[in-house]
């Protein structure tokens, strides 16, 4: 039982690596399907804007409310802006945005490609001389990779603004005091860390969704399993990659 599970896991990793190699090869050679790339940028970027904005807003509001009460014990309520901005930009912004994308984008990619796989549409593309990696994988992975940092910045902005609203209305912190604390709590390394992480996490989400979708078998039930697996695997990898990426970036940037 264990041996069979290990063999299955190793085969899955091998197929994933082969997909990444094919993706890199297709990314740097013609033909390019620019229309598909633009459509995926719109579907992943604009389509995820609402959920990412709401997530950032309510996370920032809750973070300000909770930390404000905690900081009161030490007489440091005025530092709530510093805590909200540093926490969101360094860690919470990239991770929460990536988790939202894993749920929305990862599942969507897996379901779409899985449906194409079980209905032989991918084999039809090959029969017509079209490379599925160039046509289907490259636009989706590229869009997820490039749009994740943009969505993260938007989520961070909404979170900091929500923290401002809570600080002024509920905690009694002055407006200028909050924004000064926000600026004082940020370093250049924080900004770079908050921008580099989403690129990696977006790539993980897009590539995992494509890998799981293309490997779908078993009809409509298989599509359902693939959708669930894509969300679970992408979410776990987001947290794991963030764990290993954080000390590496701290070593390089600080």
pLDDT of residue 42: 92
Give domain status of residue 24, yes or no: no
pLDDT of residue 219: 80
Give domain status of residue 153, yes or no: yes
- How many Cβ atoms sit within 10 Å of the Cβ of residue 224? 15
Give domain status of residue 42, yes or no: yes
Q: What is the pLDDT of residues 172-203, one digit of tens each?
A: 888 888 898 888 878 888 888 889 999 999 99
Give domain status of residue 204, yes or no: yes
Give domain status of residue 122, yes or no: yes
Name which of 54-58, 75-79, 107-111, 139-143 the model is least confident about: 75-79
b/e per residue 132-171 (b: at least 16 CB within 10 A): bbbebbbbbbbbbbbbbbbbbbbbbbbbbebbbebbeeeb
- Residue from 143, 137, 142, 102 nearest 116 by CA: 137
| Parent domain of 236 | 33-253
Give domain status of residue 62, yes or no: yes
State in Å, rounded, how far the first CA of the chain is from the last one: 46
Give domain status of residue 2, yes or no: no
239 band by pLDDT with thresholds 50, 70 and 90: very high
pLDDT of residue 9: 83
Give domain status of residue 25, yes or no: no
Q: What is the pLDDT of residues 98-114, one digit of tens each?
A: 999 999 999 999 999 99
What's the number of domains the chain is made of? 1
Its pTM stands at 0.91
């Amino acid at each position: 039982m264990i041996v069979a599970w290990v063999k299955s896991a190793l085969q899955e990793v091998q197929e994933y690596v082969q997909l990444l190699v094919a993706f890199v090869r297709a990314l740097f050679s013609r033909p390019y399907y620019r229309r598909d790339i633009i459509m995926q940028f719109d579907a992943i970027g604009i389509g995820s804007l609402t959920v990412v904005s709401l997530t950032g807003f309510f996370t920032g509001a809750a973070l300000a409310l909770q930390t404000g009460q905690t900081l009161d014990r030490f007489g440091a309520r005025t530092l709530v802006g510093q805590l909200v901005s540093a926490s969101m930009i360094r860690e919470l912004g990239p991770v929460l945005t990536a988790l939202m994308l894993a749920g929305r984008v990862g599942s969507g990619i897996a379901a779409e490609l899985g449906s194409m796989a079980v209905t032989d549409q991918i084999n039809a593309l090959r029969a017509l001389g079209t490379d599925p990696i160039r046509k289907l994988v490259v636009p989706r992975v590229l869009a997820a990779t490039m749009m994740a940092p943009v969505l993260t910045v938007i989520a961070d902005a909404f979170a900091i603004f929500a923290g401002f609203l809570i600080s002024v209305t509920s905690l009694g912190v002055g407006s200028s005091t909050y924004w000064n604390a926000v600026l004082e709590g940020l370093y250049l390394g924080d900004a770079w860390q908050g921008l580099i992480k989403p690129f990696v996490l977006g790539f993980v989400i897009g590539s995992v969704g494509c890998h799981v979708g293309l490997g779908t078998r078993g009809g409509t039930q298989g599509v359902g399993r693939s959708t669930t697996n894509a969300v679970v695997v992408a979410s776990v990898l987001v947290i794991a990659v963030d764990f290993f990426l954080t000390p590496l970036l701290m070593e390089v940037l600080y």
